[in-house]
């Protein structure tokens, strides 16, 4: 299985964000960076979910 390049990750994330924004959702500051951290393996999926849930509680 080939490795996914960082450019491919960025492109996929940008496409996903554009799709969601067309539906009316707006990303808050730092959410794209948080998604990239998860995609790059800098944080685990569980940590990603935990951070998002904590942000929702504020």
Phi, psi of 23 (to 5 degrees): -85, 0
Enumerate the domain spans of the chain. Answer: 6-57
pLDDT in tens, the chain (58 residues): 888 899 999 999 999 999 999 999 998 879 999 999 999 999 999 999 999 999 888 6
Task: Please tell me the total number of residues recorded for the chain in this structure.
Answer: 58
Report d(CA 28, CA 2) in Å as an integer.
32
Model pTM greater than 0.85? no
């Amino acid at each position: 299985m080939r490795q996914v390049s960082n450019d491919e990750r960025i492109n996929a994330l940008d496409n996903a964000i554009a799709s969601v924004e067309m539906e009316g959702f707006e990303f808050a500051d730092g959410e794209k960076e948080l998604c990239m951290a998860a995609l790059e393996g800098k944080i685990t999926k569980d940590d990603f979910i935990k951070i998002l849930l904590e942000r929702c509680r504020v």
